[in-house]
DNA sequence: ATCCGTGCAAAACCTTTGCAAGGCG
DNA sequence: CGCCTTGCAAAGGTTTTGCACGGAT
């Protein structure tokens, strides 16, 4: 954990690695795989530093996204969400499963969209630089609970 | 146009077909294919009725979505957008091209996602009931302007 | 008279910004 | 000192809500 924080913090060259910024980073490392909203990150951070401000959270999220540590998403629930960027991933292939039951978000790895993208570029002359794919439905636990 | 309005208005059974609601419907019919935000719809509606209120627009958009006349989307630009639902379309297959240059949104018809959806359901046990696919990039006019 | 729908203004919600104070080289 | 960062509070942008008025049944 210490090691990972240290490695990630190197991307903050030119910016100070303040206790608050470190704290936000910790929160995301401790909740890896989660897609946290600013408020959620704020609440988690406040457990360790009750004086941290929400504005600092927003500013830190912006910063961490700018340097590529976090990735911002929007699932249409009225707030932006952030997740730890996967190392070595080219930042372009994100598929999310948004459960309409529990609102949990999981990821899918496959990228079968490439052929579709090729078609679109060819037919529409539209140069694709990013895409967003979200599936809405019900995850296995929610489906089982429903049946139960 | 009159005919289409009359047909669509039948879906409002149980609700009054007021002049304001009719006006909002007209705006969407006259701008078919566009993805209008509440404010845009408001401005277009005000041309014909300068006294219409923004709250009425919001309430009407909700209502028209509820009865299936409009479809709501969120392209991550901080406001919800509405488009006329396509007749006979099962409301499930929307692909959008969001131009990062001019912010115009166009649609793609193909649905090559079915196979991907099948895979997801099989592997993750996630029952998909809707999806959102958005491509971000540059449309042909913007690319040509760039080159010029 | 009763509903429902409207317009206005206020509130709500998430996010950003201004600013004075703090931290640290 | 000078610069960056912080926390607070205020402001901003979008959407929702409370409320009294008004029109239609």
Residues of A in contact with B97 (CB under 8 A): 120, 124, 126, 128
Looking at residues A21-29, what average pLDDT do you find? 96
Q: Write out chain A residues lying below 8 Å of B106, CB-based.
A: 124, 126
Query: For A56-77, what is each residue's pLDDT tens digit?
Result: 999 999 999 999 999 988 887 8
Please give, rounded to a whole number of angstroms, the shortest distance from the CA of B136 to a CA of chain A: 5
pLDDT tens profile B85-107: 876 554 555 677 777 667 677 77
Distance B64 CA to D23 C1' (A): 22
Which nt has its C1' nearest the CA of B52? C7
Nearest Cβ partner of A119 from B100, B110, B131?
A: B110
The Cα–Cα gap between B33 and B18 comes to: 24
- Higher-confidence residue: A123 or A111? A123
Which chain C positions have some atom within 7 A of a protein CB? 4-10, 13-18
Work out the pLDDT band at A94, boundaries 50, 70, 90. Answer: low
Nearest CA in chain B to A77: B74
pLDDT digits (tens, 9 = 90+) for B57-86: 999 999 999 999 999 888 878 899 999 987
Q: What pLDDT digit, counting tens, does each position of B123-145 carry?
A: 888 888 777 777 878 888 777 76
Res A15: pLDDT: 92
Q: Residue A44 has what pLDDT?
A: 95
Confidence check: pLDDT of A148 > 60: no
User: Which of A135, A76, A92 is CA-nearest to residue B123?
Assistant: A135
pLDDT at B6 over 80: yes
pLDDT band, residue A82 (cuts 50/70/90): very high
Q: What is the pLDDT of residues B12-33, one digit of tens each?
A: 988 999 999 999 999 999 999 8
Which nucleotide's C1' atom has the smallest distance to the CA of A59?
A: C16
Distance CA B17, CA B36 (A): 21
The string of DSSP letters for B26-91 reads HHHHHTTT--EEHHHHHHHHHHH-TT--HHHHHHHHHHHHHTTSEEEEE-SSSSEEEEEPPTT--S
Judge whether residue A111 has pLDDT over 70: no
Residues in B closer than 8 angstroms to A120, CB to CB, are: 97, 108, 135
Coil, strand or helix: which one is A130? strand
Encoded tokens for B48: 């014909």
Interatomic CA distance for residues B144 and B99, integer angstroms: 13
Asked whether the beta carbons of residue B136 and residue A113 sit closer than 8 angstroms, the reply is no
In chain B the domains, ranked by start, together with CATH numbers, are 1-90 (1.10.10.10), 91-148 (3.30.1490.190)
Q: Which of A99, A127, A131 sits opposite B134 (nearest CB)?
A: A131
List residues of A whose CB lies inside 8 A of any B CB: 74, 76, 95, 97, 99-100, 106, 108, 110, 112-113, 115-117, 119-120, 124-140, 143
pTM: 0.80
pLDDT at A109: 62
């Amino acid at each position: 954990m210490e090691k990972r924080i240290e490695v990630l913090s190197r991307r903050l060259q030119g910016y100070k690695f303040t206790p608050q910024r470190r704290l936000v980073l910790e929160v995301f490392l401790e909740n890896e795989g989660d897609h946290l909203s600013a408020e959620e990150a704020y609440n988690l951070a406040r457990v360790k530093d009750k004086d941290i401000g929400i504005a600092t959270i927003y500013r830190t999220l912006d910063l961490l996204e700018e340097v590529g540590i976090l990735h911002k998403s929007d699932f249409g629930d009225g707030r932006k969400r952030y997740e730890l960027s996967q190392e070595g991933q080219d930042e372009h292939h994100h598929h999310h499963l948004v459960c309409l039951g529990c609102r949990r978000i999981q990821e899918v790895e496959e990228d079968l969209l490439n052929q579709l993208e090729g078609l679109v570029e060819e037919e529409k002359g539209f140069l694709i630089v990013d895409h967003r794919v979200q599936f809405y439905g019900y995850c296995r636990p929610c489906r089982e609970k429903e049946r139960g």
